[in-house]
Amino acid sequence: MNIGEKLSIFWKTFTGSSEFVVALSVSVIVFSVLYFYMIKFLFDNNSGGLVTVFVLSMILGAGIVFLSEMNSAIYILIPAIYIVIIIVLYSVELKRLIWARTNMKLADVKHIGRSYDEEKVEKCINEIIKALQNMSKNDTGAIIVLATDNVPSQIIDSGVKIDADISSALIESVFFPKTPLHDGAMIISDTKIIAAGCFLPLSQNMDKIPKDLGTRHRAGIGVTETIDVVSLIVSEETGIISIARAGRLSRYADFETLKKTLNKYYWQELESVRR
C-alpha cells in the first residue's frame, strides 16, 4: 500500500466517523501539550541539541508510519523514550521544578519595606563574606542558604525563626561550636536572616560527592537539588568554603568568588523574583 492509498483511507475514516475525529482531536491536543512542555523544559536547561534530535526523531517516526506497514505505536514509543531520557538526565532539575510548582513560600515571614539601596546591599555582602572567612580561619562548620522566598515552610519550621538584620557577629555566634543552632542551616532572604538551625534534605547522589565530605555538604547540596537556592558551606574539618547550586558543588571559594556569587544573588536573582 503506497502513501496515496494510506492518505485516502485516512481521509475516508476521518470524514466518515465522528468517534475517530474526537479520538484524533484529543490525541493531537494531548501530544501537542506534552511535546510543548518537553521542548520548553529542554530549552530552559540549555539542551537545544536534544530538541533537534527529538524533532528529527518525530519526523522520522511519522515517515516510517506512513511509508511502511509498521504499527503507528512507534509514534507513541518515541516520546516515551525521550521522557525516560529526560527523567534520567535531568532528575535534579525536575525535582527543583516540582518543588517550585507547589508554590511553597517562606512561612509567616513578612518583608516590610524592602528598601534595596546599594549601600545596604554592599553591607550585607561584606558581612556575609566576613563571617564566612572568619569561620573558615577557625574551622567552624556552617551552612548558609541564600533564598528567594522559595524555601518550604517545613524547612523554616525545623529551625528557629530569627528575622534579624544580617551581621557577621550574629552569623558567627549562631555557628559557634556547641551552641544550640550550630549544626543546622541558616536561611537568608533579602537583607534578613530568616531562620537558623534548620534541617535540610540530604543529597542522594552519593557517587557525585567526594568521599571526604560529610553530612554538612550533603545537606548543602541536597537543598539545591530540590529548590532554586544557593548554599554557602564551610567545612569544619578543613575550613574550605564551598558553593552549591543546582546539585553541583564548587570548592575553594575565595573572596572574589564569594563576592561574585553574592552580587548575582542580590542584583540578579532577587530582582528577577520581584518583577
Here the CATH number for the domain that contains residue 179 is 3.40.1700.10
Question: Do 223 and 200 contact (CB within 8 A), yes or no?
Answer: yes
> Which stretches in the chain have pLDDT values below 50?
103-115
Same domain as 143, residue 42: no
Same domain as 154, residue 23: no
Same domain as 82, residue 41: yes
For residue 43, give its domain range. Answer: 3-89
Same domain as 76, residue 151: no
Same domain as 265, residue 135: yes
170 by DSSP, 3-state: which?
helix
Same domain as 140, residue 84: no
Task: Give residue 106's pLDDT.
Answer: 47
Residue 112, domain member (yes or no):
no
CA gap 162, 120 in Å, rounded: 19
For 142-186, write each residue's pLDDT tens digit: 999 999 888 888 899 999 999 999 999 999 999 999 899 999 999
Same domain as 145, residue 43: no
Same domain as 229, residue 170: yes
Same domain as 270, residue 173: yes
Same domain as 229, residue 128: yes
- Whole-structure pTM value: 0.64
CA gap 26, 256 in Å, rounded: 55
For 9-23, write each residue's pLDDT tens digit: 555 655 566 676 676
Task: Give residue 40's pLDDT.
Answer: 81
